[in-house]
Amino acid sequence: MMCMPTTRPYHHGDLRATLLTSAERTLREKGAGALSLRELAREAGVSHAAPGRHFKDKQALLDALALDGYERLTQALEAADRPGLPLEPRMTELGRAYLGFAIDNPELLELMFARKHRPDSSAPLAAAVERSLGSLTQLVAEAQQRGEIIQGDPERLNMVAAASLHGIAALVASGTLEAEAALAGIEESIHHILYGLRPR
């Protein structure tokens, strides 16, 4: 009588996507420290060597998760963007989309901004960052041309807005601020970012 192997040989239809989905679930539930390619292979029902076809090590898996996160953030921002709106409501919609992504994916967002990525993954990640957050810098530059925003380096001005939104997201992630309150106050937050807190 033949003994059956404890794991099936690699034959999964889309193992890479399955591994990323499982890895993100582990990231949400247990944190990045709990991620293991061997454990993910076991969950997928493939040999422990099979994930190596897609990710040479755990860091490559983390880089892929971060890249996927930026791509999903870009999709969320593109879906929320309304170029025909005046600047403030347009930025409010984009801010709401960013905050919504951050609230739904706090662990993934932390990983995306960790910057502990492998050097050979930096080009794809840099391009993904530019597609997502760079689009907001372009919005600032276009608003400057229309006289809606003060002059200055668009990247530095966008950094102020991005840091404010990311700070609100961090307050939500830490439990200091309720997600509903953050989303309800996004219009006011964008107004303050655009006009400042100093009395006019």
What string of pLDDT tens digits covers the 200 residues of the chain? 444 444 444 445 688 888 899 999 999 998 888 888 888 888 888 877 777 688 888 888 899 999 999 999 999 999 999 999 999 999 999 999 999 999 999 999 999 988 666 666 678 888 888 888 888 899 999 999 999 999 999 999 999 988 999 999 999 988 999 999 999 999 999 999 998 866 66
The one-character DSSP state at 46 is B
- Which residues, listed in sequence order, are joined to residue 163 by a DSSP beta bridge? none
Q: What integer pLDDT is reported at residue 9 of this predicted model? A: 43
Helical H segments across 6-53, by residue range? 15-30, 37-44
Coil vs helix vs strand at 56:
coil
Whole-angstrom distance, CA of residue 7 vs CA of residue 111: 31
Q: What integer pLDDT is reported at residue 7 of this predicted model? A: 44
- Which residues contact residue 26 at a Cβ distance below 8 angstroms, ignoring those fewer than 6 apart? 34, 35, 39, 40
Whole-angstrom distance, CA of residue 30 vs CA of residue 18: 18
- Which residues contact residue 16 at a Cβ distance below 8 angstroms, ignoring those fewer than 6 apart? 54, 64
Q: What integer pLDDT is reported at residue 81 of this predicted model? A: 95
Q: Is the pTM of this model over 0.75?
A: yes
In terms of CATH architecture, what is 13-56?
Answer: Orthogonal Bundle (1.10)
Q: Do domains 13-56 and 66-114+128-200 have the same CATH topology?
A: no
Q: What integer pLDDT is reported at residue 184 of this predicted model? A: 96
Whole-angstrom distance, CA of residue 93 vs CA of residue 83: 11
Question: Residue 154 carries which side chain, given as an amino acid letter?
Answer: P
Q: At what angle do helices 186-195 and 154-173 cross, to 10 degrees?
A: 150
* Superfamily of 66-114+128-200 according to CATH: Tetracycline Repressor, domain 2 (1.10.357.10)
In angstroms and rounded to an integer, the radius of gyration of the C-alpha atoms of the chain is 21
User: How far does the chain reach from its first CA to its final CA, in angstroms?
Assistant: 87
Domain assignments of the chain as residue spans, ordered by start: 13-56, 66-114+128-200
Q: What integer pLDDT is reported at residue 10 of this predicted model? A: 45
Whole-angstrom distance, CA of residue 29 vs CA of residue 23: 10
